[in-house]
Copies of this chain bind each other. A is one copy, B any other.
Amino acid sequence: MTKFQAEIDVMPKKEILDPQGKAVTGSMKNLGLEEIHNIRIGKHISLEIEAENEDLARQKVDQACKSLLANLIMESYSFSLRTV
């Protein structure tokens, strides 16, 4: 079994309003950081997974995202894997 580290991003879909991101974009202006726009806030998840090979690890992480980590109605996800 090989150990992999997965780094997953779960973000609100583009069509979905992100009120938290909007609020933080407003706060940037108050901090004098007017150059910063279009903030979107999601989740970052790191996890360790043991699998025979990278393909199987990828399948398992995909399953974890679909069934638990992301709400596919409102969020999309992407991830990268590396051996540890």
Contact = CB atoms under 8 A, between A and B. Distances in A.
Interface in A19-72: 21, 24-25, 27-28, 31, 33, 35-51, 60-61, 63-64, 67-69
Given A68-B27, A68-B28, A37 B48 contact: yes
Given A39-B45, A40-B47, A42-B43, A64 B10 contact: no
B35 A40 contact: no
Nearest to A40: B46
**How many copies of this protein are present in the complex?**
2
Given A41-B43, A43-B41, A64 B11 contact: no
A24 B69 CA distance: 8
9 interchain residue pairs of minimum CB distance: A44-B44, A39-B47, A38-B48, A9-B44, A37-B48, A42-B44, A35-B50, A36-B49, A40-B46
Given A24-B68, A31-B63, 5 more contacts: A24-B69, A35-B51, A36-B47, A36-B49, A37-B49
